[in-house]
Amino acid sequence: MKYLITSWNKLVRKECITDNKLLFIENIYLQDQPWLYYLVSHINSMLLLPHTTFFYEEAPESTNHGALNPERAQRYVNSWKTVFEYYLSRRPNSKDFKHNLEVDYLLYLQRTHLRAIFLFPYEKKDYNQILVFRNKIMSLALKDGRFLIACFLLLEYRPFIYLFRFRFIRSHYYYMIKIVGHIAHLFDFFHRKKTNLHQLINSIIQNMIPKIIHYCWLSGDEFPTLFKKCINSWKKQLPGWEFRLWDKTCLEEINEPWVYEAYEAKVYSHASDYIRLYAVYKYGGFYLDCDVEVLKDLSPFIELDYVLSKENSDSGYIEAAIFGAHAGNPYLRKCMEKYHDRHFILEDGSYDYKFIIPDIMMQCICEYTVLENIADFKLSQSTMQIYHYLCIG
């Protein structure tokens, strides 16, 4: 049976609905939820082709808002069960499972459901309504289970699925992890096996910046008063974070000629240039100079691949006093490679003072973002390069 598509022609094609099965073609962007739940409720199964994107949401002021209309929200959930049923029924021994392993699929769930289930930060005036709606969803989950566990179910069938966006999962990881214990038994029940949902989520957020602060002090002297004040600000603003001091005992682990030579020459600032790169590259986290005072929590930045800072001046010069990254970050590896086979003490016995880390970091950034002259685009003094990484300063 074919269903006539009228106002939906820009999103799906008539020929995509056959035999009670809805097929969404690649690169479709679905957003208008009022008709979507109705459409899905009229089919028996759904096949999702490569690169389909669901963006299922509604405006908070909408009269159809799920938190204000639980009955309608119940219909949303029932219609989406059709979508989830397709995945719940798939197993590795299924005839068409091999094909679906190649699918790259991005799913957004309806925003109200997510806020309710994951206890997202929400305006106080809506909090009671959200709690009521959340309880209804949880009751449904305990009764049927499938809607709630679907958020985590899709993680199992990697690599063909990206559940939400990586950045979204990183941002809300600490809210998501709170409910894992509540739904683990449901997940196990429907899959007839034990599954560690913490590991599933962690596999998605493996590139988050860990909550570690690295700092370096090689002289062995007592910290100056200013440094003590700044370090105390870290502990005040970053409760629950780990603080790792890198001193002379770390030289053997690092085993880099540049570091040994700068340390023996008591030019500790240049020795610490490489140490900070090594520490963040090896273990992940943030590096802070001891004279950096922290005024706000750094947690909002942990979802990023790496964070750089710049001088508060017109030069826009990269400042190496604070930066962060996940372990194994390729940008930091590139910076570290600049030190390999390089000596701080030159052949004539002088010191290589001019080789400093801000220059290296800027050079590596430029190597990542080189634009070449092409027929339709010429570089000039007014050319700007846009970076998708966050700089703070």
Task: For the chain, list the strands marked E by DSSP.
Answer: 17-18, 21-24, 29-32, 45-48, 53-57, 105-108, 161-163, 212-216, 242-246, 285-288, 306-310, 318-325, 390-392
CA distances from 121 to 114, 115, 118 (A): 11, 8, 9
Which among 188, 204, 220 is the end of a domain? 204
Please indicate whether residue 175 or residue 257 has the higher confidence score (pLDDT).
257
- With 50 as the cut, is the pLDDT of residue 172 above it? no
Query: Residue 283: which residues within 8 A CB-CB, separation 6 or more?
Result: 210, 212, 214, 244, 327
Query: Tokens in use for 303?
Result: 């979802």
In this prediction, residues 62-66 reach a mean pLDDT of 44
For tokens 């598509």, the residue is: 5
pTM summary value? 0.50
Instruction: Tell whether 222 and 197 lie within a shared domain.
Output: no
pLDDT attached to residue 306: 82
Domain around 194: 14-204
Instruction: Tell whether 262 and 142 lie within a shared domain.
Output: no
pLDDT attached to residue 41: 44
Average pLDDT, the chain: 61
Q: What CATH number does residue 344 fall under?
A: 3.90.550.20
Instruction: Tell whether 245 and 315 lie within a shared domain.
Output: yes
- With 70 as the cut, is the pLDDT of residue 298 above it? yes
Please indicate whether residue 325 or residue 59 has the higher confidence score (pLDDT).
325
How many CA atoms are closer than 13 Å to the CA of 90, on its beta-carbon side?
Answer: 22
Task: For 223-284, list the strands marked E by DSSP.
Answer: 242-246
In this prediction, residues 93-108 reach a mean pLDDT of 33
CA distances from 109 to 70, 101, 156 (A): 16, 21, 17
CB 102 within 8 A of CB 26: no
Instruction: Tell whether 196 and 153 lie within a shared domain.
Output: yes
On whether residue 8 sits in a domain, the answer given is: no
On whether residue 382 sits in a domain, the answer given is: yes
pLDDT attached to residue 279: 96
Instruction: Tell whether 276 and 177 lie within a shared domain.
Output: no
Instruction: Tell whether 261 and 323 lie within a shared domain.
Output: yes
In this prediction, residues 181-188 reach a mean pLDDT of 38
Rounded distance between C-alpha atoms, residue 162 and residue 268, angstroms: 45
- With 70 as the cut, is the pLDDT of residue 35 above it? no
Instruction: Tell whether 136 and 77 lie within a shared domain.
Output: yes
- With 90 as the cut, is the pLDDT of residue 385 above it? no
pLDDT tens-digit readout, 339-382: 998 999 988 889 998 888 988 998 888 776 544 443 344 444 44
Instruction: Tell whether 75 and 177 lie within a shared domain.
Output: yes
Instruction: Tell whether 23 and 104 lie within a shared domain.
Output: yes
Alpha helix stretches (DSSP H) within 17-119: 33-40, 70-88, 97-100, 111-118
Chain-centroid distance of CA 327 in Å reads 14
pLDDT attached to residue 210: 87
Query: Tokens in use for 20?
Result: 């009670």
Please indicate whether residue 376 or residue 75 has the higher confidence score (pLDDT).
75
On whether residue 114 sits in a domain, the answer given is: yes
pLDDT tens-digit readout, 78-95: 544 444 444 444 434 444
On whether residue 86 sits in a domain, the answer given is: yes
Strand-pairing partners, residue 161, are 105
pLDDT tens-digit readout, 196-224: 444 544 554 566 788 999 999 999 899 99
Instruction: Tell whether 138 and 98 lie within a shared domain.
Output: yes
- With 60 as the cut, is the pLDDT of residue 268 above it? yes
Instruction: Tell whether 172 and 313 lie within a shared domain.
Output: no
Of 386, 287, 380, 385, the residue nearest 332 (C-alpha): 287
Of 73, 76, 70, the residue nearest 39 (C-alpha): 76
pLDDT attached to residue 205: 53
